[in-house]
Structure 1
Amino acid sequence: PFFEMSKEVERLYGGDIATLIELNGQPALRRYEEQALNAICKSHRSAVIAASGAIVADAALFDQLLRSAHTIWLQASPEDHMGRVIEQGDLRPMGNSRNAMDDLRAILASRAADYSRADATLDTSAQVFGQTLDRLEEIARTLLT
């Protein structure tokens, strides 16, 4: 089965992540992510879990993910990343900041060491979806054999 961590958090919380963060802060989001990851790992011997890049903000939770699963980090250039986030209609991370791109570059750079701990990395920049999917399947097969 496929699980998107943000959807699992929203299901457990009973509302959207923006409201969760606004009312309860980032620590509450991390607690819900931990509950979701624990539930998935407990109820499924194998699964595909899509976690947000911010999961590295909680070292213990990220360590748990690394121990519990094969991890493939999907990375993109800051420009591609920003474009994709905007296409999805999610402006929370950057709001209306004039320095949004600089902020994003700084965030990605600060997380690079954690991201590099994944079993594999796939750069999705300048690739069409089909190419990315083919390469992702190839990497996953390699990790599972």
Structure 2
Amino acid sequence: MTDLSPSEDIGGALIARLAARVAEARKLRGLSRRVLSEMSGVSPRYLAQLEAGEGNISVLLLQRVASALDLQIEALLAEGMPMDHEAERITTLFRQAPPQVQQQVCGLLAPQNPKVMRAGRICLIGLRGAGKSTLGRMAGEALGIPFVELNHDIEADTDMPLAEVMAFYGEDGYRKLEAEALERASAKHDKMILAVAGGIVAQPDTYARLLERFHTVWIKTSPAEHMQRVRGQGDLRPMEGNPAAMAHLKTLLESRIPLYQKAEAQVNTTNRAVRSSANDLLAVIAKHRFLDGAK
């Protein structure tokens, strides 16, 4: 007796799974093979072969069968348990709903199993100069997942540098663009590391959605290092016209600490080399299993 090759084993398992799911879906809907044949345009004989695991059906014909059963074709082929009929209906309704309705649904479901909602998506929060961009980029490269800076996404979407965005749209307009960019990022990526502006935590609705959809890590450092790093980036705005800049920075950080503490984890970069801080971030991601369960 000749052993099957791995590809033949996989193919046989796929055909058997497909046969069982087509038969089960047809019976759940109370359809005879003849009725399913009329609905799908696939002959009863071909359907009988398909349900017996003897048919090598084409993708186009399988799509007809799936549509007649009111299923996505993926539900017939997926390795895991397929969604039942009601779950398929809910999925279709969700896809067709406007973004605000989708947000409401996600808000209702997230508390039931928040880890599933956040799985694979990591967001770095904290004041500017803490190291979010540098560490996020390094961690993304190490883990092989995308790194996104939300402000860069806003610049790409508006086709303006951030300074012009702020001047043209004002603070309120920028916050609206920020919320929209967050929606785009969470919709586009199942796995990612995101870096956001320090003030996003002061926007209750946007921050609530961020905490709902992302595992969060507070990247923190001392006020002195915040100031030094911002200066090192060539941005003197925190010092312009503000002789008490350090006092202002300390007050701002103090006021936001309760908000930043909502993060699931922290990485302190004070007096740490960049590579050491990047390793700290990777260790936090592994310890908390932030990538577990992601697609």
TM-score bracket, normalised by the shorter chain, equals: over 0.9
Q: Which amino acid aligns with 1:98?
A: P
In the other structure, the counterpart of 2:236 is 91
Native 8 Å contact 1:17 1:29 kept in 2: no
| Equivalence for 1:4 | 149
**Alignment check: 8 A CA contact 2:221 2:269 kept:** yes
Q: Is the 8 A contact 1:9 1:32 kept in 2?
A: yes
4+ residue runs over 4 A deviation: none
Indicate which of 28, 31, 44 corresponds to 2:173: 28
Q: RMSD of the TM alignment (CA)?
A: 1.2
Give, in whole Å, the separation in 2 of the partners of 1:94 and 1:56: 23
Greater displacement, 13-22 / 74-83: 13-22
Deviation at 1:94, TM superposition (A): 4.2
Judged with a 3 Å threshold, the aligned counterparts in structure 2 of structure 1 residues 20 and 93 are, in CA distance, closer, same or farther, namely farther
CA deviation after TM superposition for structure 1 residue 24, in Å? 2.0
Unmatched 5+ stretches in structure 1: none
1:1-145 paired onto structure 2 within 5 Å: 1-143=146-288, 144=290, 145=292
TM-score by length of 1: 0.94
CA contact (8 A) 1:73 1:115 kept: yes
**What is the rounded CA distance, in whole Å, between the counterparts of 1:108 and 1:122 in structure 2?**
16
Give the length in aligned residue pairs: 145
Q: 3-state SS of the aligned residue for 1:90?
A: coil
Q: 1:94, 1:138 → 2: CA distance?
A: 35
Tell me by how many angstroms 1:78 deviates: 0.5
Q: CA offsets, 1:105-135, max 9 Å, x none?
A: 1110110000000011111111010110000
**Do 2:150 and 2:196's aligned partners in 1 also have CA atoms closer than 8 Å?**
yes
Alpha-carbon separation, structure 2, partners of 1:69 and 1:142: 16
1:54-110 per-residue CA deviation (whole Å, 9 max, x = no partner) reads: 111211111111111100010110000011111112233443410111111111011
Q: Matched residue of 2:148: which SS?
A: strand
Query: Residue 149 of structure 2 aligns to which amino acid in structure 1?
Result: E
Whether the 8 Å contact between 1:6 and 1:52 is mirrored in structure 2 is: yes
